[in-house]
Amino acid sequence: MAEGLDELPLFPLQTVLFPRAPLPLRIFEARYLEMVRECSRTGSGFGVILLEPAGDDRPARHASIGTEALIEDFSTLDDGLLGIQARGRRRFRIHGTSARDNGLLIGQVEWLAAEPARSVGPEYAALDSLYREIVVQVAHAQLPDVDGDNASQLGMALASILPLEPPQAQELLAVTDPIERLRALCWLLAPDSDDEPEEEIEPEDFDST
């Protein structure tokens, strides 16, 4: 493994996990049950990456940027399966993968730097109001508290709960400038507005899986 990289078990899903966002999961495959046991024993996390299913002319593939998930709670679901409540932590970029004998994908990952602290300008105050309205409407205790003047927290939290298509959410996860993410959210919410991102956000790279 290259210097500066860590190994992280990967859980490809057809969803995008953002830092600080909750993630409930039903666990039933043997490889992921073993992964959960290992994470619980060591207090470590696993990586959630967006999975794009195979198409007519290409194999299944996964995004190269994902988010570490830490397990917060366990439960036995009504169908007898293991349920876990996880939460997003750090973002990472995958530099390579391998597979264990049980099929569990292991990534060689680089942790992405924390985003710079940027204030939410008055032009994005409506996004903070929107997030707080959604929190009240859904009454979901697991949603993260957001500092309304923290552009990174606000953008990540909104991106995690808005009904975005997975490729749109993946593009927002890959953004490194929190103000650019807020600008992109404004454009997604009102695409006919003049607040179009200064630079087009390219779809995140995908790797075959």
Domain residue extents for the chain:
6-111, 122-201
Instruction: Give the global pTM.
Output: 0.88
**pLDDT at residue number 150:** 94
* Model confidence pLDDT, tens digit, residues 73-87: 999 999 989 999 999
Q: Which two tokens stand for residue 10?
A: 């990967």
pLDDT at 201 > cutoff 50? no
Pick the CATH number of 6-111 from 2.60.40.180, 2.30.130.40, 1.20.1260.10, 1.10.287.110: 2.30.130.40
**pLDDT at residue number 195:** 52
pLDDT band at 153 (very low <50, low <70, confident <90, very high): very high
Residues 6+ apart with CB under 8 A from 125: 148
φ and ψ at 99, to 5 degrees? -130, 140
Mean pLDDT computed over 106-121: 94
* Model confidence pLDDT, tens digit, residues 155-185: 999 999 999 999 999 999 999 999 999 999 9
Say yes or no: do domains 6-111 and 122-201 share a fold: no
Angle at 71 between CA 166 and CA 28, to 5 degrees: 70
Q: E strands, the chain, where?
A: 6-13, 22-27, 46-52, 61-63, 65-76, 82-99, 105-111, 206-208
Pick the CATH number of 122-201 from 1.10.3470, 1.20.5, 3.10.530, 1.10.4060: 1.10.4060
Torsion angle (degrees, nearest 10) of CA 117, 23, 172, 63: 120
Alpha carbon distance 111, 65 (integer Å): 10
